[in-house]
Chain A
Amino acid sequence: MANAKLWGLKKSPWVFHVAAASCNNCDIEILDVLTPRWDVERFGIVLVGSPRHADALLITGVLNRKSLPRVLRVYEQTSKPCLVIGVGTCTCDNHMFAPSYNVVGPYDKHIPVDVYIPGCPPKPEAIISGVVKALKRL
């Protein structure tokens, strides 16, 4: 059955979008790839409303003390195997928020991330290519 899930994941990944403590810009760009100019639904990439339906998590923003337990809970709820894709420079290295008292990142201290997409914000093309790279790893 694991292979069936993998097969579905490769053919049509359903993604769930989590914003930890982001500035919205990566989130807008993620929504942008759904709108007519990029329209990733033609590749079978669909945003879903519940982490339980998701094959992949798109995470944006730095982790802060209040959002960390919630992000972990979302990760626990996903069915495994689940790809975790960090969108934006904030997910890679806390970006310019590292001196803050409320930031607890980077992500790899807390959850396993498969692919990081750097950029502030990454261009829609970069997001699509990041998802493709994540799928190729499987």
Chain B
Amino acid sequence: MKKEYSQEILDEIGAKFPHASVKIHAPRRTYINIPRDEVYDLAKFLFAEKECRLSITTGTDKRDGIEILYHFSHDPSGTYYNIKTLVPKDDPKVRSLADFLPAANWIEREIHELLGVDFTGHPNLVPLLTAETWPADLHPLRRDYADEHKEFKIEKTGRDQ
């Protein structure tokens, strides 16, 4: 198979999702911008019909909102199809992919705790990495997170589990 992006997949995306806009960065790196309510369907289309693998999801706090980037890898051609969407900070919600894609389970939990994005429909949206004592409303990768939050009380004798 040719080691570059497939124009057919991009055309099909364009026909099915009229709001999507495609940017080709390099032969094997493509970025697809799409509104957040169509992310679920596009991800399902890439995973179920085009046999793409969800590699990871990146959340970034930009000034105008939180950008969520789903990196889908199409392995036979070595291409990354990246779905990009922007969610507003006052209503950070997006539909969870975990119901058809178990790989998304941990990924969404991590973004939820580090950036405070709510994934609606996620089966178990509890913190993954931070300690039990970490405040639930403190998101270290947000822009408004400041270093003075670092010194909160540390439980010295947490006899847990």
Contact = CB atoms under 8 A, between A and B. Distances in A.
A101 B149 contact: yes
Contact of A69 (B130, B140, B147, B158): B158
Nearest to B155: A69
Interface residues of B, number: 18
A68 B150 contact: no
B156 A69 contact: yes
Contact of A65 (B130, B147, B160): B130
B61 to A, nearest CB: 14
Interface in B121-161: 129-134, 140, 145, 147, 149-150, 154-160
A102 B134 CA distance: 9
Contacts of A104: 154
Interface string A68-111: 11001100000000000000000000000001011010000010
B141 to A, nearest CB: 9
Contacts of B149: 101
A52 interface: no
Given A101-B140, A101-B150, A104-B154, A69 B160 contact: yes
B131 A66 contact: yes
Interface in A17-70: 64-66, 68-69
B157 A72 contact: yes
Given A101-B140, A101-B149, A101-B150, A72 B130 contact: no
Nearest to B149: A101
B159 A72 contact: no
The interface residues of chain A, by DSSP majority, are classed as loop
A109 B119 CA distance: 39
Contacts of B130: 65-66, 102
Interface in B2-53: none
Nearest to A109: B154
Interface string A97-138: 001011010000010000000000000000000000000000
A65 B154 contact: yes
A68 B155 CA distance: 9
Interface of B: 129-134, 140, 145, 147, 149-150, 154-160
Interface of A: 64-66, 68-69, 72-73, 99, 101-102, 104, 110
Given A66-B131, A68-B154, A102-B130, 19 more contacts: A64-B131, A65-B131, A65-B133, A65-B134, A65-B154, A66-B130, A69-B155, A69-B156, A69-B157, A69-B160, A72-B156, A72-B157, A73-B157, A73-B159, A99-B147, A101-B149, A101-B150, A102-B140, A104-B154
9 A-B pairs with the lowest CB-CB distances in the bound complex, closest first = A69-B158, A65-B131, A66-B131, A101-B140, A101-B150, A104-B154, A69-B155, A69-B157, A72-B156
